[in-house]
């Protein structure tokens, strides 16, 4: 993936996710850490039992989901991601960002978009390819994209 294509993909994902991201207030804690390369089986659903409600069962009850975004590879690469808001950063790989989303009842039903557009990494033969990425929700891998696949990691958290 060329740098121009990576930027175009990041801008495209940003526009799509901005429209779908919701306007609910959320608090996010995030930190950088080392990544784990443990691979779980792919799964298309979120772990619905992992959140803890903060309300008393009313229509305004919120559920918290712990989200981990990861990009694999070595060297440095641009990483565009949407967790609580849109971000773009030049990052040392492997890269990991963890945060907590508080989902409203409406977001629990329709979902809230999160995603990563990993930049390019250099293969052993010197050619560039899209970096691998993974999204984990409440400890369960929901997206695990291999290196070389030129599309973002995206998921609707419910």
Mind listing the pLDDT tens digit of every residue in the chain (158 residues)?
444 344 444 444 443 443 444 433 333 333 333 333 333 333 333 333 344 444 444 456 899 999 999 999 999 999 999 998 999 999 999 999 999 999 999 999 999 999 999 999 999 899 999 999 999 999 999 999 999 998 899 999 99
Residue of 58, 89, 91 whose CA lies nearest to 74: 91
Non-local CB neighbours of 96 within 8 Å, separated by 6+ positions: 32, 33, 34, 35, 68, 69, 70
What is the pTM for the complete model shown? 0.64
89 phi, psi to nearest 5 deg: -150, 155
pLDDT for the residue numbered 60: 62
pLDDT for the residue numbered 150: 85
Query: What are the DSSP calls for the chain, one per residue?
Result: --HHHHHHHHHHHHHHHHHHS----------B-PPP---PPP-SS--TTS--B-SSSSTT--EEEEEEEEEEEEEEEEEEEESSSEEEEEEEEEEEEEEEEEE-HHHHHH-EEEEEEE-EEE-TTS-EEEPEEEEEETTEEEEEEPTT--S-EEEEE-
Give the Cα separation of 139 and 56 in Å (integer).
25
| Pairing of the two strands 112-118 and 153-157 | antiparallel
Per-residue pLDDT of 55-71, as tens digits, reads: 444 456 899 999 999 99
Give the Cα separation of 51 and 75 in Å (integer).
35
pLDDT for the residue numbered 84: 86
pLDDT for the residue numbered 131: 95
pLDDT for the residue numbered 61: 82
């Amino acid at each position: 993936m060329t740098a121009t294509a990576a930027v175009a993909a990041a801008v495209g994902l940003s526009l799509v996710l901005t429209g779908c991201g919701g306007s609910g207030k959320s608090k996010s804690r995030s930190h950088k850490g080392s990544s784990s390369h443990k691979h779980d089986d792919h799964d298309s659903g979120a772990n619905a039992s992992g959140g803890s409600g903060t309300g008393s069962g009313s229509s305004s009850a919120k559920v918290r989901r712990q989200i981990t975004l990861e990009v694999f590879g070595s060297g440095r690469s641009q990483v565009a991601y949407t967790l609580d808001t849109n971000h773009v950063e030049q990052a040392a790989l492997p890269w990991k960002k963890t945060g907590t989303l508080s989902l409203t009842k409406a977001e629990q039903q329709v979902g809230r978009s999160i995603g990563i557009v990993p930049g390019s990494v250099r293969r052993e033969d010197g050619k560039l390819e899209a970096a691998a990425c993974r999204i984990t929700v409440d400890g369960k891998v929901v997206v695990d994209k291999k290196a070389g696949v030129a599309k973002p990691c995206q998921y609707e958290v419910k």
